[in-house]
Amino acid sequence: MRYTLRVFRYLRAYRGRIIQTMAFLVITTLLGLAPPRLIQGMVDTATRLGSRSVVALFGIGLLCIAIVSALFAAAQRYSMATIVHGLIYDIRNALYEQILHLPFGFHDQTPTGYLISRMTSDMEALSMFFGFGLGNIVGMVITFLGALIMLVAMSWQLALVALATVPFLAMTTLRSSNLLGPQFLGLRRQFARVTAQLQENFAGVRVVKAFAREQHEVIKFDRQLDDFMVRRLKLARVFMIYMPSMGFLTNLGMVLMLTYGGYAVITGSMSLGQLVASQGYMMMLTGPIRMIGWMVINAQRAEAAAEHLAEVLEHERLIADRLDAIDLGEVRGEIRFENVSFGYEEGAYVLHNCSLEVKPNETLAVMGATGSGKTSVINLIPRFYDVNEGRVLIDGHDVRDIKLASLRQHVGTIFQEAVLFSGTIAENIAYGRPDATQEEIERAAKMAQAHEFITRFPNGYQTHVGERGMTLSGGQRQRMTIARAMLLDPRILIMDDSTSSVDVETEYLIQQAMLEGMRGRTSVVIAHRLSTVKNADRIIVLDKGVIAEEGTHEELLALGGHYRQIYDTQLADQEEAG
């Protein structure tokens, strides 16, 4: 229970509530022990005294207990619910916060489906355990001991007979939980696989359809679902055997006790009332035992869930503020790489000993073949990843010494993939500055050459875009993300220009948007367009993670190396078009 115990620290905030709940629980449980005693009195009065008024008194007593215990049970349930839901609320928030704070490196390696099941089914498991399991344990122990004491008090011989089947019952329930536990776990894993496949296919449904692979995916899903079904039935078979066995053992115990009690009543060593009462206590005795198996399974599930949670919650936020991290304040916008080497994985560098300098307001174009490390270079500037060797400096400060929030406020990023959130166009543009006014949003949109197409929508800036911005074209989405970065008015702009081909007119608009965006700030742009390259003050060409060439368009053309080759094969055609 190592991991589950760690969850307990979240319970600390609920100390008062827990004491209150436990008090309600103890009262309810103790009240539950009284009715068989009262029934005993009632039966004995009826059979021996024959007094109607006393029987009525017992009836009133039973009624009162029923009412009071119902009230306490209700209070206990509600009080318990506030603790459990509060606990899950706290953990879910902590988890969400942690996931969003974990570095790019973590997200590169962790499938979305995995994180979603942490947020959902693991939470469910913990909620079950803390909601029913934990409270139940206390109630079960009190009920079991209380019932045993009452039985012994009536007749120790009777108590012994009553206990005769309990060890077998305990063994059966434990054995079934040992069998069921791993099966439940397997079932959950399989379900996670089913969910993962669903998520992947729904996300990629366009590809599935485009390649006419619907039938193939249906069959693949059917196989997963079939496996799930087989596991389900296997589980059902275990239940099929164990549930009736436990029922039988319980009944057997009851028969033994009633038979023994019946004889005792005949010989006069026990009253009829006692026999009736003992039946009530017997049920209280076996109930908790039968529950043990379920508790064990619950605890196993909770432990597995807590372990998964710990994996995420205790994952080190490798990229985080140092204690003495600084705020940038005014930024001139100078970027320097000093002998930077970097790799996504241990020992496999994708950048080797790169040094470069970008002066304030300069534009640097980064070029190179696919996989040469262009994205990797610009990812280091806003510290999406940390360098392995060397330093990245902004205005002479190592980026690791700058507060992340401050750094990312001054470094605007336009990613290769245009991601929009579900919401209005205005909300999407204002994502980095939710307090922006409509005028500011429009100014940013105008800079990004997006204002015109936005105002052509009937709802203008209030137009809703879908989770992937499906209602917008590729070129429109790209200009939206440029507008989003423009609104931040960052001193430094980094841009991973998309290679997606668009029509000539859109191409022209995007070019304008980019040139507009780069004006008056330091920019590092991964360039695919001749206009961007020509506009750049300097160009670096990467080759397998090494800066192979550096200079202006003319210088590099004259050099006749990598750049010349890229120019001849990719850029020269754009001379006429641009």
Phi, psi of 303 (to 5 degrees): -65, -45
The binder of ligand DGT chosen from 92, 118, 231, 374 (CB under 6 A): 374
Cβ at position 485, least distance to ligand DGT in Å:
18
Of 335, 333, 331, the closest CA to residue 540 belongs to: 335
Size of the site for Mg ion (CB under 5 A): 1
Indicate whether 500 belongs to the interface with Mg ion (CB under 5 A).
no
Beta carbon nearer to ligand DGT, 185 or 546: 546
User: Considering only residues 193-222, where is the footprint of ligand DGT by CB under 6 A?
Assistant: none
Q: Which stretch binds ligand DGT (CB under 6 A): 22-30, 40-48, 65-73, 370-378?
A: 370-378
For residues 304 and 185, give the distance between their C-alpha atoms in angstroms, rounded to a whole number: 8
Question: Do the beta carbons of residue 91 and residue 123 sit within 8 Å?
Answer: yes
Q: Which does 372 bind (CB under 5 to 8 A by kind): ligand DGT, Mg ion, none?
A: ligand DGT
User: Considering only residues 104-123, where is the footprint of ligand DGT by CB under 6 A?
Assistant: 108
Beta pairing class for 389-394 and 335-342: antiparallel
Beta carbon nearer to Mg ion, 165 or 379: 379
Q: Which residue type is seen at 176?
A: S
Helix/strand/coil for 490: coil
Phi, psi of 491 (to 5 degrees): -70, -30
- Burial class for 156, CB neighbours closer than 10 Å (0-12, 13-18, 19+): exposed
For residues 415 and 412, give the distance between their C-alpha atoms in angstroms, rounded to a whole number: 10
Question: Do the beta carbons of residue 401 and residue 453 sit within 8 Å?
Answer: no
User: Considering only residues 365-394, where is the footprint of Mg ion by CB under 5 A?
Assistant: 375
Indicate whether 435 belongs to the interface with ligand DGT (CB under 6 A).
no
Beta carbon nearer to ligand DGT, 228 or 415: 415
Total residue count of the chain as it appears in this document = 578
Cβ at position 342, least distance to Mg ion in Å:
14
For residues 400 and 499, give the distance between their C-alpha atoms in angstroms, rounded to a whole number: 31
Task: Render 87-136 in DSSP notation, one character per residue.
Answer: HHHHHHHHHHHHHHHS-HHHHHHS-HHHHHHHHTHHHHHHHHIIIIIHHH
Cβ at position 545, least distance to ligand DGT in Å:
7
Half-sphere exposure of 536 (CA within 13 A, CB side): 28
Return the H-helix or E-strand segment holding 549: strand 546-551
For residues 294 and 447, give the distance between their C-alpha atoms in angstroms, rounded to a whole number: 63
Q: Which does 368 bind (CB under 5 to 8 A by kind): ligand DGT, Mg ion, none?
A: ligand DGT
Beta carbon nearer to ligand DGT, 25 or 367: 367
The binder of ligand DGT chosen from 182, 204, 371, 560 (CB under 6 A): 371
Beta carbon nearer to ligand DGT, 107 or 232: 107
User: Considering only residues 340-369, where is the footprint of ligand DGT by CB under 6 A?
Assistant: 344-345, 350, 368
Phi, psi of 402 (to 5 degrees): -105, 140
The binder of ligand DGT chosen from 131, 288, 373, 517 (CB under 6 A): 373
Q: Which stretch binds ligand DGT (CB under 6 A): 180-188, 207-215, 239-247, 371-379?
A: 371-379
For residues 529 and 372, give the distance between their C-alpha atoms in angstroms, rounded to a whole number: 18
Q: Which does 482 bind (CB under 5 to 8 A by kind): ligand DGT, Mg ion, none?
A: none
Distances (CA, A) of 291 to 255, 278, 294, 298: 21, 20, 5, 11
Q: Which does 108 bind (CB under 5 to 8 A by kind): ligand DGT, Mg ion, none?
A: ligand DGT
Beta carbon nearer to Mg ion, 182 or 371: 371
Indicate whether 372 belongs to the interface with ligand DGT (CB under 6 A).
yes
Indicate whether 415 belongs to the interface with ligand DGT (CB under 6 A).
no
Cβ at position 225, least distance to Mg ion in Å:
38
Cβ at position 311, least distance to ligand DGT in Å:
19
**Rule CB under 6 A: which residues touch ligand DGT?**
108, 344-345, 350, 368, 370-376
**Rule CB under 5 A: which residues touch Mg ion?**
375
